[in-house]
């Protein structure tokens, strides 16, 4: 190797790692795309809000599944806790949205921390079952405590105060859409920060090889519990947003089905890459919306088929396909 070439090689690997957190233009694409629907599809804004909320929910799942490698079927527990917290507050005379979200985050986060400390001692299938048990137990608790949650009838009487004291939650969901987009934006900045921090990098190490992480002196469980609680906070905020923008909470916020569905959406988009949530959730929900209209009886079959195809032929989800396509184009160039 020529001396100058060696010099270049000497600095560049370090630089490439040190600068990996820098924002690439493509990362702003979701935020450009989120604006036009406000005017273009104004009758679809409630669906739009729900998509944004589910993106936030999937983003929180990506932190534990994609980065820390913790597989869970109970993530909806935190979504549901957030929804009920914000909903119950608003139904009992405290309809201020921001503080309602903060309360949702606190309740979900505290529950995430406590349950995380207990269940993250387990691994693999045992852990998976425990996450499942938690969501089922909380669902049953919400069902039994009808005086507080409305039980199977759902929580009614939610009245939201205007956002920031200025913007009413209107019938068309305009305020809700902007509100959900703003919260998702702030959460995205936060999650992106964590993912690119040394803490976030160490999570990928835990995902890649726990044995080695122990051997280099990592307090593995502490890191796992921390990220589990953070993901619970974000899921709680997502649930709180759903309660506030739809002004209703049903038992379905906190089910195994919802835990599974969000997992599917994330896998569809691509796991462990921050933007899988932004791709998978809209793809799934828009497809679901259209399929349900085209084939009202068997639409779930088509959703299932879509999934089987992705799992069999497109590991890494939709973003994985994009990656491979790009590699193909780059390699073809002389």
13 or 296, CB closer to another protein? 13
Site for another protein in 188-217 (CB under 8 A): 193-194, 196-202, 204-205, 208-209, 211-212, 214-217
Q: List C-alpha distances in Å: 28 to 60, 150, 175, 305, 324.
A: 19, 41, 22, 31, 21
What is the chain's length?
334
Site for another protein in 112-171 (CB under 8 A): none
Residue with tokens 């809700």: 176
Quick one: which of 7, 8, 9, 92 contacts another protein (CB under 8 A)?
A: 9
> What mask, x for binding another protein by CB under 8 A, covers residues 19 to 58?
xxx-------------------------------------
Least distance (Å) from another protein to the CB of residue 193? 7
Establish if 16 lies at the interface with another protein (CB under 8 A).
yes
Q: Name the one range near another protein by CB under 8 A: 10-18, 122-130, 178-186, 276-284.
A: 10-18
Establish if 324 lies at the interface with another protein (CB under 8 A).
no
Q: Which two tokens stand for residue 295?
A: 């084939």
Q: What is the dihedral of CA 124, 188, 173, 139, to 10 degrees?
A: 20
Q: Supply the DSSP string of 246-267, one letter for each residue.
A: HT-B-GGGGSHHHHHHHHHHHH
Quick one: which of 5, 14, 297, 329 contacts another protein (CB under 8 A)?
A: 14
200 or 236, CB closer to another protein? 200
164 Ramachandran zone, left/alpha/beta (phi>0; psi -120 to 50): left
> How far is it, in rounded angstroms, from Cα 58 to Cα 52?
10
Q: Supply the DSSP string of 171-210, one letter for each residue.
A: TT-HHHHHHHHHHHHHHHHHHHHHHHSHHHHHHHHHHH-H
Q: Name the one range near another protein by CB under 8 A: 8-16, 71-79, 143-151, 304-312.
A: 8-16
146 or 219, CB closer to another protein? 219
Contacting residues toward another protein, per CB under 8 A: 9-10, 13-14, 16-21, 193-194, 196-202, 204-205, 208-209, 211-212, 214-220, 223, 226
């Amino acid at each position: 190797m020529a001396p100058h070439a060696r010099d270049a090689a000497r600095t560049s690997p370090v630089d490439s790692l040190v600068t990996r957190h820098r924002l690439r233009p493509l990362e702003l694409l979701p935020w450009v795309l989120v604006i036009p629907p406000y005017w273009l599809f104004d009758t679809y804004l409630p669906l739009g809000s729900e998509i944004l909320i589910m993106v936030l929910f999937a983003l929180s799942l990506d932190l534990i599944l994609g980065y820390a490698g913790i597989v869970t079927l109970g993530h909806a527990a935190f979504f549901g806790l957030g929804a009920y917290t914000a909903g119950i507050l608003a139904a009992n005379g405290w309809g201020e949205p921001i503080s309602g979200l903060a309360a949702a985050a606190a309740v979900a986060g505290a529950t995430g921390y406590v349950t995380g400390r207990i269940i993250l001692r387990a691994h693999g299938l045992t852990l998976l079952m425990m996450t499942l048990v938690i969501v089922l137990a909380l669902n049953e608790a919400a069902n039994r405590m009808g005086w507080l949650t409305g039980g199977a009838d759902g929580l009614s009487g939610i009245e939201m105060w205007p956002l920031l004291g200025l913007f009413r939650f209107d019938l068309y969901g305009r305020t809700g859409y902007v509100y959900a987009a703003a919260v998702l934006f702030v959460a995205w900045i936060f999650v992106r920060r964590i993912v690119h921090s040394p803490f976030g990098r160490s999570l990928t190490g835990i995902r890649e090889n726990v044995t080695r992480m122990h051997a280099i002196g990592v307090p593995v469980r502490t890191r796992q519990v921390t990220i589990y609680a953070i993901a619970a906070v974000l899921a709680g905020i997502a649930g709180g947003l759903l309660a506030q923008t739809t002004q209703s909470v049903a038992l379905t916020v906190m089910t195994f089905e919802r835990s599974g569905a969000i997992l599917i959406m994330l896998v569809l988009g691509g796991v462990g890459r921050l933007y899988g949530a932004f791709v998978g959730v809209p793809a799934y929900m828009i497809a679901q919306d259209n399929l349900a209209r085209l084939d009202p009886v068997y639409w779930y079959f088509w959703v299932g088929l879509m999934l089987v195809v992705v799992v069999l032929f497109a590991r890494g989800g939709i973003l994985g396909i994009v990656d491979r396509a790009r590699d193909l184009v780059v390699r073809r160039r002389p």
